[in-house]
Amino acid sequence: MTIPPTETLLDLRGLACPMPVLKANRALRDMAPGTRLRILATDRASVADFQSYCRETGHAMVAFTESAGILSFVIRRRAETQPS
């Protein structure tokens, strides 16, 4: 798998719920708005977990694929809200 230079890769294969979402959340907090995080996971519960996480946080899931039991999510970090 080739990762574009504009993405950060987080390999979370072998971790069970809720660890993939918790670790992804920690990584996204340190990333610049608009940047992308590619997450590799093997826990089937991650599909629903990341969908809910993105809905609740405002981050965008821009891609999801599965190949040979490896789930790949690409999440774009939300833009920071401007103070009023």
Residues with a catalytic annotation lie at 17
Q: What is the CA radius of gyration of the chain?
A: 12
Give the span between the Cα atoms of 50 and 44, in whole angstroms.
11
User: What three-state secondary structure class fits 35?
Assistant: coil
Backbone angles phi, psi at 24, to 5 degrees: -65, -40
Amino acid at position 16, single letter: A
